[in-house]
Structure 1
Amino acid sequence: MNETLELLLAIGLPTLAAVGVGAAFVARRRGGPTPPTPGRPGDGGRAATAVLDPAAPALAAPTAAAAVEVAPEAEAPAAAPALEVPEPVVGRLARLRGRLAGSGSPLGARLLAVLSRDHLTEDDWDELEETLLLADVGAGPSAELIADLRTAVRVAGVREPAAVRALLREKLIALVDPALDRSLATAPVIGADGLRRPAVLLVVGVNGTGKTTTVGKLARVLVAQGSTVVLGAADTFRAAAAEQLATWGARVGVPTVRSDRDGADPAAVAFDAVRTGRDTGADVVLVDTAGRLQNKAGLMDELGKIIRVITREAPLSEVLLVLDATTGQNGLNQARVFAEVAGVTGIVLTKLDGTAKGGIVIAVQRELGVPVKLIGLGEGPDDLAPFDAAAFVDGLLGD
């Protein structure tokens, strides 16, 4: 009896084991449940499935040699790049004024040359008016200036070069209007709910005026003044715009809110930037927008949407229109449309260095009733400065 039982056990156990293995194999081929992995009770084989998933990264245990090689890198974190220190804003205007004067501005030089002649004929006065018109001063302001100069020369008999320069300086400063408020509204605001919100500055303009570069330079101005800043890359149509803006910000330690894909909704990016500024306690949020032609209704409507979405989170402190000083009358056309759509509060004039078009300052202010608040006079990162009427005219006339 015992011999018979031992014989049955010897034959049966291997057979049962084989059947069990076969059943498991069949179940796996048919998509049935996988038996639990030995040593991991209760996990149902999920760890093994994750490793076999083609979308999951392959996992491998590091070798001892690999551990030795990796350890030193883990102990020595990469050094953060040194942040740039923007140039103080106070010293910029004098330097930029000197650059404008040194470039021999044709506007100031031609005006002084004509006014210094012994006897001014009608042809001379016509030449003066033509010079002003070519400098984009505009017909109205040009006529006013000529009339004032005629009266002063006839009544006071001004002829000496120094007196002529002083007279012309006085009249030009009056046209540029030093009484306009050119300060930037960059102070955080307290809403009706008592919550602190950052000042929001929206930067708009057409293609090619240098908006993104201007936003980057303006961030440096604000950092130099001690403000904390967040950048919003709402130009989602130009592939390099967000990267360019992020590079400007990284140089001075300013974060940039951007979309992870091209063509994203710019209003959503702008909203996220404002919310990030609020949540992090930033002082100012600068929002860059895509360049848009003033005669493209769809693009201008989109700009209106950006403004509506932003103001759900925080009020707009400034809408800055970037204009290329060399565009002349076309720049005025742009300014009119943007002022209607976006409620422009200030002008940033770029490419003013050495230009004969300095009169655009007078024309655009007269047209919109909006002050020029910032000017760009060069390609350097700190070649953006607050506009000052007297310093600008002195630059035009030379020292």
Structure 2
Amino acid sequence: MKSKRARFTRLSSIASNNVRGHDDRLTALSDDILLSILRRVDIATAARTSALSKRWRYLPWLLPKINLDARDFLPSPLPDPIKPQLIDRAMTSLTRATRSLLGDCRSECTIKRISLKILMTSNLPCDLGLLVSDAIDREMVKELDLDIDHKEPIACRYEDLFLQAQRVERFFRAYPSVLRCLTRLHLHGVDFTEWDIHHFLFDCCGQLQHLSMHECEAGERSVWQINAPNSDLRSLEIYASGLESIEVLCLPKLERLHWDIWFSSSPPLRFGSVPALKELFLLNDATLHQGAFSLREVLHGANIHTLNLHFQGEKVWIKPEGNQLCSVFSNLRKLSIYGIYVEFELLWMINLLEAAPSVEIFDIEARKPLPV
């Protein structure tokens, strides 16, 4: 804290000396107020403000977090479909803005976290990776939140997912420093069938704490086994995945798991050693071929205190187990049930509450059947 305050005072002194003699209202504002303004603008605006004066040039580096988002450079409203040329232009503009911020940074500047949201294409500017990697190597950046998406027209879905995986892998191979300080990662539309995702996520990303995967594949009816006793991962979110199931054999620091939509007819989850797991969120609109599974079997090995079940349809995809759930509900404090139809409301309320005598918060949202 002392070194950060000293750095703030030193940079403020430099900036103040550069603007002495000016009496405009903006210059008269304190650094705290100016930083509050910068927190509310996008990266494009922040980069432009650095050209106002020498004082403004260093203000962005006093922010606790810098957000670099390619979507800030896309036109509004967005055309549908988005042309690849617009994406390339947005990524080029993002690179220029990043260079403006990182290139002007003094050697004593250090930022705790950068949030980088990129649109991965075949024409991804290599300068962007170099800029971020160099800032990490110079210890200017301590933590990195990385969001990798793609908005190119999809000619063939599975081929597109495979190409996206190749681009992501090439990016990380080219800039290994990025993996070293990666704390949050969001992957969208990646087929890692031929990619050792386990080694990449849990061996190479030593600081990774939050992982989110949207529409990612690993081969038909695949089972993802996670055995990472040295991982710092605390939050795992899976959305619309083609995975058959996930077996969390060992994730000692995992606190929260969110799975949104799965397609298997068997239990989607199995737990091994997850001593820190406290919150589980399961959302699924079950199809006719998907049978109900035992919630007790899924929760075996876990010790959760918050359980969210979202059914989104007329089918309830868990079995009525009653008192058999007592052993896995022993520490349950919050139970939420959403998207359950009114015909099942009382039955399922009684069934689950009987097995969870320690529940302090019970939240239920019932739906009416759709008109025929």
> How does the TM-score come out when normalised to structure 1?
0.25
| Higher relative helix content | 1
> How does the TM-score come out when normalised to structure 2?
0.26
| Higher relative strand content | 2
Per chain length, whose mean CA-contact separation is higher, i.e. which structure has more relative contact order (CA < 8 Å, sep 6+)? 1
Q: Which has the larger radius of gyration?
A: 1
